[in-house]
A and B are shown apart, each in its own frame.
Chain A
Amino acid sequence: DGGITQSPKYLFRKEGQNVTLSCEQNLNHDAMYWYRQDPGQGLRLIYYSQIVNDFQKGDIAEGYSVSREKKESFPLTVTSAQKNPTAFYLCASSAEAVGYEQYFGPGTRLTVT
């Protein structure tokens, strides 16, 4: 089955530690996206990538970093510089073949204490 995988579903870290969230897709989509969801805030764009080895900052990129070494993978690192990292993180992908509709993964709930 084609789809987007995010692992793990729940992630716990101590304050001051960097943590990397995984996002993998086997849809052969060119573009991938990371969104953050907080209660009452909707989804906000962190980073996105249109092609391998290239990515752009979104609205709330501070304290986050990404890489796009493979078409299928777009990991997100939450660094210790991110002031409020506890949130629900969603990964998405899209392609011209599907009219640029974004397909979402199941999300990762990150809790930092």
Chain B
Amino acid sequence: AQTVTQSQPEMSVQEAETVTLSCTYDTSENNYYLFWYKQPPSRQMILVIRQEAYKQQNATENRFSVNFQKAAKSFSLKISDSQLGDTAMYFCAFMKHVQYSTLTFGKGTMLLVSP
């Protein structure tokens, strides 16, 4: 079974600054996907970024980037130039690289961006 751990229940950052959210996971799989989802106050789950384990290059989406360390089973999310709209719950999630696999989520990190 897979487990995903987010050790930071809450974090805060000021607008325009950079913040890093941590995630570690445990699995015996070699091929898998890792995700960061954002859940704003509306509670709609929004995919932020996706990383395929077989790719060595870290994924980047505009202000969002990841630091994927496969050997250490670590998958952190860096948010640059933080904006007020980034205030949300952030979930790290794991999925096996098989057809229609299910997601295993961490417990989430609440990020508050202040002016």
Contact = CB atoms under 8 A, between A and B. Distances in A.
B16 interface: no
Q: Mostly helix, strand, loop or mixed at chain A's interface?
A: strand
Given A100-B95, A101-B50, A43 B103 contact: yes
A94 B47 CA distance: 13
Interface in B30-61: 33, 42-45, 47, 50
How many chain B residues sit at the interface, stated as a range, is 20 to 34
A68 B64 CA distance: 37
B99 A96 contact: yes
Contacts of A75: none
B22 to A, nearest CB: 15
A40 interface: yes
- Residue in B42, B103, B105, B106 with the greatest tally of chain A CB atoms within 10 Å: B103
A111 interface: no
B102 A33 contact: yes
B106 A42 contact: yes
Interface in A55-71: 58
A41 interface: yes
Given A33-B103, A41-B107, 8 more contacts: A30-B100, A40-B9, A42-B108, A94-B100, A100-B100, A101-B50, A102-B103, A106-B44
17 contacts: A40-B9, A40-B107, A41-B107, A42-B107, A42-B108, A43-B103, A45-B102, A48-B100, A50-B100, A88-B43, A90-B45, A100-B33, A100-B95, A100-B99, A100-B100, A106-B42, A106-B44
Interface of B: 4, 9, 33, 42-45, 47, 50, 91, 95, 99-108
